[in-house]
Structure 1
């Protein structure tokens, strides 16, 4: 089952939040993995503008003769994502941050930012490789820094998890004035929740 919120599709959404939300239905026993293959990982990196199609073509060609490198990259990507999610979840719940998750994120902060730099892209800037021999893991560094920036900035207390009863569990940053947003998207989970409440009230009145 596919589940794509309007918030996730927004270019304004935090990179690290979009990354965590590549696992859908986190409040269910059976989650939905959206980055299940190395090719899916590369497609996602293009979608969030951490890689361009030329780089993806280069990596795909390289991985044909080095499938273990592709699988290792995918495992690294998943590990970073789950470490960030665990830290976000602790922030949301007010619990203690898992030491292993924190150590995993800190390892990314302790590595040089070589191989990647800001460069012009249209009217703005984007991350771009600076070397011909690309180390795929370097493409994940901006995600780690996005998580750290969010966790240590003024919006840290605004990180929330969708309360949809079906088990959505997508994360979002609550920018509402009242700070009472409960759903990742009013157009999706919010409307469904309201429809369910209306149905139950109608049933109770019959």
Structure 2
């Protein structure tokens, strides 16, 4: 079962949460990786407005003759994503944060910003390249900064994991007034959970 968040969902969530959620059905035996290839990772970066069309075209062209660079980028992306997932889940569960995951995040935070910086696009600010030839890994740094800001800010306690019984596993920031949100999306996991409960009640009543 494929899961593709809508543009509205992407816009609502923190960048780092969006990135962690590129793994769908994470709590199942067979998860679904939405950035399983360098090309799909580039598409995700473009959708998240961390890379424009020109940059994506440049990198795709470059990687045709440099597949090792493409593989190194994908490994770096997966490494950052899984480190963030372990840290967020540890915070959610109140457990000990994996030192190796924290060290991975700190390496990203400690590296120089390099070839990306905030720049104006219309009346907004976005991460933009500052050099003609961009190191692909530099495009991932805003994700690490997003995670650090979320983890150290007042919303850290609002990060939760979807409680869908099918094994969704997506993370979200609970912005509800009562802080009792249980699902990543009421239109998906929430509705299905309610439908299951309704079906179970009708079955019991019919007995």
* SS of match in other structure, 2:119: strand
1:110 match? 110
User: Is the 1:6–1:185 contact (alpha carbons within 8 Å) kept by the matching residues of 2?
Assistant: no
Matches within 5 A, 1:48-87: 48-87=48-87
1:47 match? 47
- With over 3 angstroms needed to count, the CA separation of the structure-2 counterparts of 1:51 and 1:181, relative to structure 1, is same
Matched, 1:29 2:8: no
User: Is the 2:10–2:48 contact (alpha carbons within 8 Å) kept by the matching residues of 1?
Assistant: no
CA-to-partner distance for each residue in 1:104-129, whole Å, 9 max, x for gaps?
00001111112111111122011111
Determine the C-alpha separation between the residues in 2 that align with 1:153 and 1:131.
31
* SS of match in other structure, 1:80: helix
Determine the C-alpha separation between the residues in 2 that align with 1:91 and 1:149.
14
TM-score, normalised on structure 2? Answer: 0.97
Matches within 5 A, 1:78-157: 78-157=78-157
RMSD after superposition: 1.2
- With over 3 angstroms needed to count, the CA separation of the structure-2 counterparts of 1:7 and 1:65, relative to structure 1, is closer
CA-to-partner distance for each residue in 1:166-201, whole Å, 9 max, x for gaps?
111100000001100000011110010000000001
Structure 1 segments, 4+ long, off by >3 Å, are 4-8
* SS of match in other structure, 1:10: helix
Determine the C-alpha separation between the residues in 2 that align with 1:181 and 1:7.
21
CA-to-partner distance for each residue in 1:55-93, whole Å, 9 max, x for gaps?
011111111100010011001000000000000000000
The alignment of Structure 1 onto Structure 2 pairs a total of residues equal to: 206
TM-score, normalised on structure 1? Answer: 0.97
1:163 match? 163
2:3 match? 3
**Structure 2: where are the runs of 5+ without partners?**
none
1:205 match? 205
Determine the C-alpha separation between the residues in 1 that align with 2:183 and 2:171.
9
* SS of match in other structure, 2:62: helix
Q: Aligned-pair distance for 1:103? A: 0.3
Determine the C-alpha separation between the residues in 2 that align with 1:55 and 1:29.
35
Determine the C-alpha separation between the residues in 2 that align with 1:55 and 1:167.
35
User: Is the 2:10–2:18 contact (alpha carbons within 8 Å) kept by the matching residues of 1?
Assistant: no
User: Is the 1:24–1:170 contact (alpha carbons within 8 Å) kept by the matching residues of 2?
Assistant: yes
